[in-house]
Amino acid sequence: MALALSLATTSFHAPALPVGRTRAGLPTMETVKDLEVLADQQQIPMGYWDPLGMTQLNLYDLGESGTIGWLRQAEIKHGRVAMAAFVGFCVHANGIVFPWALTGGKLSDGPSLMFSDIGASVYPSPLDQWDAVPAAGKMQILGTIFLLEWINEEAKPHYTQGGKPGAFPSIKEASSVPHPVPFDLFDPFGLFKNDSEEKKARGLNVEINNGRAAMLGIFGLISASKGLIVPGLDSLGLPQSTAEPMAFFGPGDVGAWPLVDKMYENIGAFPWNA
């Protein structure tokens, strides 16, 4: 899906503001024509390219502009997650872990589980390391994702209604955050608040380009870790994993949460496990 989103949108390395965005905070509905002009400005090798016709899908009856806004936001989001995942994969594959306990301590009566207990010395592949994270830890991550998604949907104007692609509302001012937050997710120290709109647009477009590369990179690492042939990665000697990369929960979570056992009943039917 991430690759399809990448093919469907073409906003990266723009030398100026995207077409139609002339003033900060002004809702602007982008069209396919805008994307075509952007592709020319950005010197994309194949020009504007939407082989799957995703901009014509009329997602959720949003129309052309709303659909483009949805796809643009989704691509940026996928790219940001992929950049974090790519760096995290490299870090954990090299055995770099936090020096403190993951579970246990003063607030728990159970034994402590150190980050090093699920590090590369015990679980060489980052995919297996994820499976070794306790179910409670995974639910905390899932809860954080849910909260960030909720805040993102509170953006005014909404990204399907002319909002700036990639913009994230202030966490400090979000009414859905259950406790005070001292810093925002983006630019917590206000280092870029005085940048021009042109500079911000260029920065966002560089980020999108890096995100596209990261989406390909993290899926390449995952595929190579599962024994698939990935040119350029085969020589790295990545530890092979027995984990299911498309499953949020691992075998150790069966019984800890509802329906996880049902999910694992069907894993053997996936083509890559045949």
Q: How far apart are CA 208 and CA 76, in angstroms?
A: 6
pLDDT band at residue 107 using 50, 70 and 90 as cut-offs: low
What is the mean pLDDT of the segment spanning 18-30? 56
In this structure, is residue 251 part of a structural domain?
no
Q: What is the CATH number of the domain that holds 87?
A: 1.10.3460
**Res. 254: pLDDT tops 50:** yes
Instruction: Please say if the pLDDT value at position 1 is more than 70.
Output: no
Planar angle of CA 94, 99, 102, nearest 5 degrees: 100
Of 10, 2, 158, the closest CA to residue 75 belongs to 2
For residue range 152-172, list pLDDT tens digits in order. Answer: 998 889 999 999 888 888 888
**The total number of structural domains that make up the chain:** 1
pLDDT for the residue numbered 13: 34
Q: Which pTM was predicted?
A: 0.81
**Domain of residue 150, residue span:** 2-243
How far apart CA 40 and CA 47 sit, in angstroms, is 6
Q: Is residue 52 part of a domain?
A: yes
Compute the CA torsion angle 60, 63, 64, 70 (nearest 10 deg): -40
**30-60 per-position pLDDT tens digit:** 899 988 877 776 667 888 889 999 999 999 9
Within-domain flag for 29: yes
pLDDT for residue 69 = 92
